[in-house]
Amino acid sequence: MNELPEKVVQLEVLRINRNIGKRCKCKKPNYVVDTDNRGVNCAICGSGIDPYDAIYGLALHYERLQEEVKRLLVQRKEIANYKPHLIVFRNLESHYRGKEMLPCCPECKQAFYFEHITGWVNRRMIELRRKRDG
């Protein structure tokens, strides 16, 4: 057995590559936690991130988290203040300020002051009357 065989079998089960560097090159990565594989990926580029590096990155950039919380709080206030049924009244109020413009009755077309409104009626009753009267 002084000669080498013609077919050499190579065993490449595991290699070490020290020059590969970090996989995720994003400046502001967004993290996605994979609970099935117990890993962390970058939501921007999709590459895997070491969980320690993800926690360390969050600790370094906690201001980003605070800005996100502030933005979400502002959005929450906007959603809480959004009341589509009040849009008509907001438009009326914006025209009424300074009492330069007055609303008009849709039936008789006469102008009136809001202070002259003395009562309210049930919407269903009015709709039923209009259907009945044709």
**What percent of the chain has pLDDT above 90?**
12
Neighbouring-strand partners of residue 31 = 42
Which pLDDT does position 74 carry in this prediction?
94
Question: 55 has which bridge partners?
Answer: none
> What are 30-72's pLDDT values in tens digits?
889 989 988 898 888 888 888 998 888 888 888 888 888 999 9
Please give the structure tokens belonging to residue 28: 């502001």
- The Cβ-side half-sphere exposure at 42, using a 13 Å CA radius, reads 17
CA distances from 64 to 52, 58, 71 (A): 18, 8, 11
**C-alpha–C-alpha distance, residues 22 and 29, integer Å:** 13
- For the question of whether the overall pTM of this predicted structure is more than 0.75, the answer is no
- Would you state the pLDDT for residue 45? 85
What would you measure as the largest C-alpha separation in the chain, in angstroms?
116
